Chains A and B, each alone.
Chain A
Amino acid sequence: MSDLNTVTAAEAPGGQPNVPHGRVKRDKPRSLAGDAWNDLRKRKMFWVAIVMVAAILVMAIFPTLFTSADPSQCALSNQFKGPAGNALFGYDFQGCDIYAKVVNGAWNSIKVGVLSTLLSGVIGLLFGLAAGYFGGWVDAILSRFVDIMLGVPFLLAGIVLSRRLGGDPKSDGVLAVTLTLGLLSWTSGARVMRSAVISAKQQDYVAAARMLGATPGRLMLRHILPNSIASYIVLLTLLLGINISSEATLSFLGVGLKNGAISWGIMISEGTQFARSEPWPLVWPALFLGVTVLAFIMLGDAVRDAFDPKLR
């Protein structure tokens, strides 16, 4: 935003460029990634997001650093007890240590989020590459399929698919939810990839490579992909936040994680039932989920702004 102001101000006198622009040192040629990194480094938002994401990752991977309590050790005698000793946030309806549960819940959120985003990333990449590169009837069929996917509202499809995939009564639902989110959330990525490939395909250097006899595989891998991948990765960063949020939503609605798997979504759902008298079992997981998603969205937002200031 502040940079927008600067541009206006600098060009203001009759739209003339007679005012010196920021003095930029140009020692060596810079790449898009280098430029973006330079821009990113100066953003406060980026560093705040990095710190938050790092903290969440540490919490997910090493929960024992934060709590030694076993979240599955619950005693009904502790029901709704206030904070005591290591149980910083008190106890919930089943007498479980809320703090221990919340800390341990990070792992499932991150696991489902990362894995489903990777899956979605691969599917979207292949779909987008194929549609964009081959064009013609391949593109027509693939694009139509994407249209149909977008014709069903995301959460609706998610509920139905997750329910169906998680049919095994003994599973904890992690695989089902990961597959569900991965299989449903790739459409926007495929569209972005497709248009990136189409515009890359029209570049002269790709035509030149083709005339020199490059095979389609090599063309895609060496020439088209590297130039389209930046915006795609930015999209995936944002998707990661959205998928974490979707996992919680599915679990909240009872079609996500289950059978004792810890999920912030389930904790929120349980918390709402007694919120009238006992708000804390609802508030803590809600805060942790909110902050986690916020951290990833902020990171994605900052990276996107750095890569493409026009998208703001």
Chain B
Amino acid sequence: MFRYIVRRLLQMVLTFFGATFLVYALMFANQKDPIQALVGERPVSESQRIALTERYHLDEGFFMQYWYYMKGVLTGDFGTSMTGRKIYDMMSDAWPVTFRLAIIAIVIAAAFSVTAGVYSAIKRGGIFDNSTLLITLVLLAMPIVVIAPLAQLIFGIQLGWFAPTATRDATFYQLLLPAIVLACIVIAPEMRVTRTSVVENLRADYVRTARAKGLTRMRVIWVHVLRNSLIPVVTLIGVDLGGLLAGAIVTEHVFNIPGVGFNLARAINTEDGPLVVGFVSILVILFLFINLLVDLLYAALDPRIRYE
């Protein structure tokens, strides 16, 4: 197990540098005027040019520039956004609200997809099962750019049940509608996998044994069947993470939530290179760690798996 983790961490280091380099290159390589690319559309004075060349090592090779930048990132110095603010400060402003949004979304998605998935598996072929199957198909197909604005329009504006926008210090209730929208992205695949997996496990021999042991139906399903059924669902979480992130960019944009996705979308539109690369680096690290965590959780859930 230990060796496996070490190997995975080494792979992650490689992936991290590869991925951040790709983004760094896309943002900065082959710019006609690298200094203009750094400051955006503002005019730059000669003294600023010298300072920026110094700061970003623009007189050295591209790889060296990347290297100096990464050295900064890894020591917690993300540099300065072209708006002049420290990127580190912007991040500490943006992360908490995004983090809360994501947690609420994941909890909603997990609670709903597992209960609904189990319920439709038990009553498969019934009305509940068939209608959820149809709803998940629609959810699966609806792009987030359709769900988010329509949800805001219908539930936020027309019906007025939820707040149509949220602030940095949003309450749980303000974040609820965007979180539900975000949850919609992952509910459909997770529910489908839960359902299939429960249906398969209900047929397993160990279920017959559990019934022969005189256990209640509730215990057979929620203890014996569910634990086995969750194994494939957990692996899906790692896959869904990218979708969740994409969803966060659009959702925060639509609901005006000043989180990571919102900042990132704005940074990209204003060509704020340092800000983009800074956010992306953190996101990539997070992405990789959660994927490792999911793999370890997988082993914890299924004792038959031993990583070598």
Any A–B CB pair closer than 8 Å: yes
A250 nearest in chain B by CB position? B145
Nearest to A165 among chain B residues (CB) is B26
Which residues 122-147 of B have a CB within 8 angstroms of A?
Answer: 124-125, 129, 133, 137-138, 140-146
Question: Which A residues touch B196, using CB under 8 A?
Answer: 312
Are A159's CB and B18's CB within 8 A?
A: no
Q: Find out whether the CB atom of A297 lies under 8 angstroms from the CB atom of B137.
A: yes
A1-B133, A286-B145 given; 19 more Cβ-contact pairs under 8 Å = A4-B124, A151-B19, A152-B19, A154-B243, A155-B245, A156-B280, A157-B23, A159-B249, A160-B280, A245-B143, A249-B144, A253-B253, A255-B269, A269-B145, A279-B153, A283-B150, A289-B145, A290-B142, A293-B142
Which of B133, B158, B268 is the one whose CB lies under 8 Å from A159?
B268
> Per-residue CB proximity of A250-292 to B under 8 Å, as 1/0?
0011110000000001001101100110010011001101100
CA distance A298 to B139 in the complex (A): 12
Q: How many residues does chain A have at the interface if contact means C-beta atoms less than 8 Å apart?
A: 53
Contact check, B15 vs A153: say whether CB atoms are below 8 A apart.
no
Stretch at the interface among B61-69, B82-90, B225-233, B282-290: B282-290
A156 to B284, CA, bound (A): 10
A-B contact pairs, 21 of them (CB 8 A): A145-B18, A150-B242, A154-B242, A154-B246, A156-B264, A245-B141, A245-B143, A249-B250, A253-B250, A253-B265, A268-B145, A275-B157, A276-B157, A279-B157, A286-B145, A287-B146, A290-B142, A294-B137, A294-B138, A297-B141, A312-B196
In contact, A294 and B141 (Cβ under 8 angstroms) = yes
Q: Interface size for chain B: under 10, 10 to 19, 20 to 34, or 35 or more residues?
A: 35 or more
Main secondary structure of the interface of B (DSSP, over half): helix
* B11 contacts the other chain (CB 8 A): yes
How far apart sit A268 and B253, CA to CA, in the bound complex (Å)?
A: 13
- Give Cα A312 to B133, complex, Å: 12
- Whether B149 is near chain A, meaning CB under 8 Å from some CB there, is yes
Which residues does chain B contribute within 8 Å of A2, judged by CB atoms? Answer: 125
Cβ B124 vs Cβ A290 within 8 A: no
The answer to whether A282 and B269 have CB atoms under 8 Å apart is no
Of A8, A156, A301, the residue contacting B283 (CB under 8 A) is A156
A147 adjacent to chain B (CB < 8 Å): yes
One of B137, B153, B265 near A283 (C-beta < 8 A): B153
- 0/1 interface trace, chain B 181-196, chain A, CB 8 Å (1 if under): 0000000000000001
Asked whether, in the complex, the Cβ of B153 is within 8 Å of the Cβ of A301, the reply is no
Q: A157-B22, A248-B143 are in contact. Are A151 and B287 (CB under 8 A)?
A: yes
